[in-house]
Structure 1
Amino acid sequence: MKDWATYIAPYIRRRRTAEQDLVYNFGEQLLNEIESLCMNNLFSDVSFLVEGQRLPAHRLILATRSQYFRELLFGGMCNSREQLIRLEVPLEAFKLILGYLYAGTVPLSLDTDAIVQVRDLAKMYGLLELWTVITRYLNGRSVS
């Protein structure tokens, strides 16, 4: 004799699948809307000054994606309350880091110097996944 859970399990699985079919996923639209905020003044609550250029950003997005920015913007670091934070980093590499934080993408088709700068910033900001992908890419590219 089967126990009750074993008996109804197939029906529960079918029901769960049917309910999932009734869910529409707006994830791509959400990602596009978040990505559109990258370096956009709309709702920005912090800016970075890099090589003389002001880059607007959003504390919540940066802090959600990076422990470094969480500490910088909400923790005990001295910049946590500042509206304008000066950074001594390469401008284009920092823009690519922002793009990664907002959209989860980074172009690997850059010249070697640029991609190395992005990798170095990824390490500095604790973006281990990005650092790993770029390192693997560079190691594979340098073999040929």
Structure 2
Amino acid sequence: MLNSSEFVKRLEKVLEYYGLSATAFAEKINFNRSTISHLLSGRNKPSLDFVMKMLQNFDEVEMNWLLFGKGTFPSINENKGKSITPKSKDEVSGKIPMDLFSEQNIKEQSKAVYTDRNLKSIERIVIFYKDGSFNVYQN
């Protein structure tokens, strides 16, 4: 069960880490300022939509830490110490850049990620579209 007062402390820690006011934070995750105010005051608990937007916009925030205080913040990753770059409009809206799925890019990524780490390589990627069509990319 979510402890509201502990959640508020973690949310405040995120705001402090990124140097954001409640208003700037609300704008960054495209959320109503009053909702943020109610969360910070402990009046309301966070919605799933709020949590998801927060996780999408702040890479260093991990869900288990945010909700339950388990883990660390900022999360330890290979980008530690590098400057934080804002997400593009497409990333925030959830749209995936289509060049990400070019056959050449998929082949390069599968070789770079999987063969460099001696893991299994990707045999095939299938992308299904809402209209029922699909694309198949094979190594």
Q: Structure 1 length as normaliser, TM-score?
A: 0.28
Who wins on radius of gyration, i.e. which is larger?
A: 1
Whichever structure has more helix as a proportion of its residues is: 1
